[in-house]
Amino acid sequence: MSSITGTAESIGLPSAHPKRLALASMVGTTLEYYDFTIYNTMAALVFSQLFFPSVDPMVGTMLAFSTYAIGYLSRPLGGLFFGRLGDKIGRRAVLVITLIIMGLTTATIGLLPTYGSAGILAPLLLITLRFVQGVALGGEWAGAVLLAVEHGRQDQRGLNASWTQMGPALGTLLGTGLIYGFTSLMDNETFLAWGWRIPFLLSLALVTFGLWVRSGVEESPMFKQLEEAHTKAEAPIKEVVTNHWRRLLLAGGSRIGGDVLYGLIVVFTLTYVTTVLQLPKSTALMALLIGTGFNALAVPLFAILSDHWGRRPVLALGVLSAIIWAFFMFVLFDTAQTMAIVLASVGGLIVHACLYGPQASFIIEQFPTRIRFTGASLAYTFAGIIGGGFAPLIMAALFKSYSGSNAISIYVAGAACVTGLVLLLARETAHEPLEE
């Protein structure tokens, strides 16, 4: 099969574009994880009181986490719809549409009535908005990665793809920082009354910035080549499922370990520290904030290492580290000491970066250009359900059933082993040209 090996310059990308291209690739996932961070944090801290007030606190938290899962369940619909659209009409147009939908749905959550004023209608509206948001997210990630990788130098695909992977850390930093600030400045009653709404409404600022950045980025040169050669896929979904099902499974499986680990550190930890250890919200948020800063720095470093060493060795290091940290971090948590909790979050999010940094390039390298948007979207979104969508809910259920953290650690370690199995079955792709 033929390949595309040219650099950005050799395929016509103006040399002035790299910084804007990195921002364009990063801004969507920054908004995505800003949205998810403030939602996850509110689900762990206040949504059980605002939208599910008539049940036991832990059950209410589980119900709030179930609406978190709804956002993952709807992602494959977005992957199917926007993935096909991205392979038919181009990467850039899809990225504008998904950005607008994400921002508007998040801002609308900030305007929702609570159970106290609207009854059962409140959680139903919340679920509906999460569903729509998930559809948009299903088309965002792959398009953002492709925009960077298909424009950039092919010997730096890991680094180029990692701009998109930095978005979650930046979005989490931004969301956690804002919530930390608001919870520190407001008393609990004020935050419950209206303070929780502000971070949702502020997402509109990110959307405006993102649209401005993406308006100045051209369509992917590799997609333009397909258009000029009239070789675009007529039925990309069918082609992926029929001809590339093995690659689809491998690409999706590479996500499982990192997603479950992320769910443990970023979502369930908030509940564990505040509900089980009964420490202040500010302690959990501060630990998450510091850990996420290290994650943002580590993601591109591990991606660069994967450009030199290969995707599989770096991901394998992440798998082994995740298995160990899944048990050790609870040892640190259970000391109930602030510094130990910070160390647990920092270490866990560095391990996550080892899995997450090379992940985007590994996934998109599994598919040829003509179906790359569809293939990457399907792998990312369907695996997200298994790995990320139900992880916090499963962890809460395991803790409730077994009254301890060992079952959760075993669950996280098992998810890491799934990614390890993928690495044994997959070929190394870092030093091969992208397929046309």
pLDDT value, residue 60:
57
pLDDT value, residue 16:
37
State the chain's mean pLDDT as an integer.
Answer: 85
Which of 116, 128, 108 has the alpha carbon at shortest distance from 50? 116
Query: Which tens digits make up the pLDDT trace of 374-414?
Result: 999 999 888 887 887 778 788 888 988 887 889 999 999 99
Does position 323 have pLDDT exceeding 80, yes or no?
yes
- 149 and 24 Cβ atoms separated by less than 8 Å: no
- 15 and 153 Cβ atoms separated by less than 8 Å: no
Query: Which tens digits make up the pLDDT trace of 184-228?
Result: 888 888 888 888 899 899 989 988 998 888 888 888 888 888 888
User: CA torsion 133→134→139→143, rounded to 10°?
Assistant: 80
pLDDT value, residue 230:
79
Task: Map residue 295 onto helix, strand or coil.
Answer: helix
Query: Which tens digits make up the pLDDT trace of 51-81?
Result: 766 655 555 566 666 666 677 778 888 888 9
- 232 and 39 Cβ atoms separated by less than 8 Å: no
Query: Which tens digits make up the pLDDT trace of 227-273?
Result: 888 788 888 899 999 999 999 999 999 999 999 999 898 878 888 88
Does position 50 have pLDDT exceeding 90, yes or no?
no
- 263 and 391 Cβ atoms separated by less than 8 Å: yes
Model pTM score: 0.82
Does position 306 have pLDDT exceeding 70, yes or no?
yes
Query: Which tens digits make up the pLDDT trace of 142-163?
Result: 888 998 888 878 889 999 999 9
Does position 361 have pLDDT exceeding 90, yes or no?
yes
Token reading at 99: 């950005």
Looking from the CA of 183 toward its CB, the CA atoms found within 13 Å total 18
